[in-house]
Amino acid sequence: MTADRSGDGEVPAGDDRVSLAVWKFASCDGCQLTLLDCEDELLAVADRFRFAHFLEASSAVDDGPFDVSLVEGSITTADDVSRIHDIRERSAVLVTIGACANAGGVQALRNLADVDVDELRSIVYPSPELISTLASSTPIADHVEVDLELPGCPIDRNQLLEVLAAFLAGRAPNLPTTSVCVECKARDLVCVAVAGAEPCLGPVTRSGCGALCPSVGRGCYGCFGPAEAANTSSLVERLRGDGVDDGRLTRLLHTFNAWAPGFRDQPVAVADPTRSGR
C-alpha cells in the first residue's frame, strides 16, 4: 500500500459510474486542473464518472481498482518508479496527460545537460540532503505500458473531454497526430512564420491546441510535442537560414518537450545551468 491508498472514500452502493483516478508525479498540477476547468461540462462528467482518487477535487479517495487513470507528471524519484507500477496494476486504462508524463517535461532538460545532479541539488536547495532524486526525468511510458498519451503543456480541455466521451461511447478518440499547421489553416489564420518573422514550431508540433499561439500572433512553442514524422532538422535549417541563432534555437526546442524524440536529437547547443561552456 502506498500513501495514496489510505483514503476514506467508499463506493456508494448502486453507483455504476466509471471510476476515474487522477495521479500526480513530477509536475505542476496544471494538466489535472484542466479537468476542473471543464466548468460547463463538469456536472455532466460527474454524472458518468466517479472521482475515485482526485486530490485536487476531494480528499476522499478509494483504493481502486480504477476503470480509468489519468497520470500527470514525470518519473524523477525511486519512489515514483514503484508508485507508477502500483497505479498501472490497479488501472484498467491508463492515460498520461501532458508533456511531463509523455516526455519528461521541462525537468528533463537535465537529461540533456552534461551536469551532475548532486551539484545541481546543492545549488538549488538550502538543505540538499533532504532531496532524493534520480539523475533523469523520464516519461511514464518508459516504465509502464500506457494506453493513450494526451499531449500538451497543459493539455487541451476539449481533447480531455473527447477522450472521456470516447471512453463512454466505446469508440476511438479523435486525436489527430498531424501538425499544428492543420488547425491553423482550418481556422484561416495567417501564418506567422511565412507572413511574419516569428519562428514557429507548428509544422513539427502535434495538433490539438487549436493553433492557440498563432491565433494571437505568436509562433508555436511546441508544447504539444512532436507531430508524427516531425522533420525538425529541416525546420531548424530553415530557421538558421532566416538568421535565428543557436541560442534562440536552443531556447525554442528546449522547453516542455525537450526530451521527446523528434526534438531532443537536434544539433543545437545545450543550455547548461552550471557552466559557461561545454
Contacts to ligand SF4 by CB under 6 A: 180-181, 184, 191-193, 200, 202-203, 211, 214, 220
DSSP 142: G
Contacted by 196, from another protein, ligand SF4, none: CB < 5 to 8 Å by type: another protein
Handedness of CA 160, 163, 168, 169 (dihedral sign): positive
As a whole number of angstroms, the distance between CA 107 and CA 153 comes to 13
CA nearest 136: which of 165, 151, 152, 114?
114
Tell me which residue has cell 523520464: 138
**DSSP output for 192-227:** TTTSS-----GGGBB--S-SHHHHTT-----TT-BP
Contacted by 220, from another protein, ligand SF4, none: CB < 5 to 8 Å by type: ligand SF4
Q: Which of residues 29, 41, 63, 272 is near another protein by CB under 8 A?
A: 41
Q: Is residue 92 within the footprint of another protein (CB under 8 A)?
A: no
CA nearest 54: which of 23, 76, 82?
23
Q: Which of residues 87, 161, 223, 249 is near another protein by CB under 8 A?
A: 161
| Contact mark string toward another protein, 201..220, x via CB under 8 A | -xxx------------x---
Q: Is residue 191 within the footprint of another protein (CB under 8 A)?
A: yes
Q: Which of residues 82, 132, 234, 274 is near another protein by CB under 8 A?
A: 234
As a whole number of angstroms, the distance between CA 244 and CA 51 comes to 47
Provide the CA 55 distance to its chain's centre, in angstroms: 19
Q: Is residue 78 within the footprint of another protein (CB under 8 A)?
A: no
Q: Is residue 11 within the footprint of another protein (CB under 8 A)?
A: no
Q: Is residue 48 within the footprint of another protein (CB under 8 A)?
A: yes
As a whole number of angstroms, the distance between CA 154 and CA 171 comes to 24
DSSP 113: S
Summarize as ranges the residues that interact with another protein (CB under 8 A). Answer: 40-41, 44-45, 47-48, 161, 164-166, 168-169, 171, 174, 176-179, 181-182, 185-191, 193-196, 200, 202-204, 217, 227-231, 234-235, 237-238
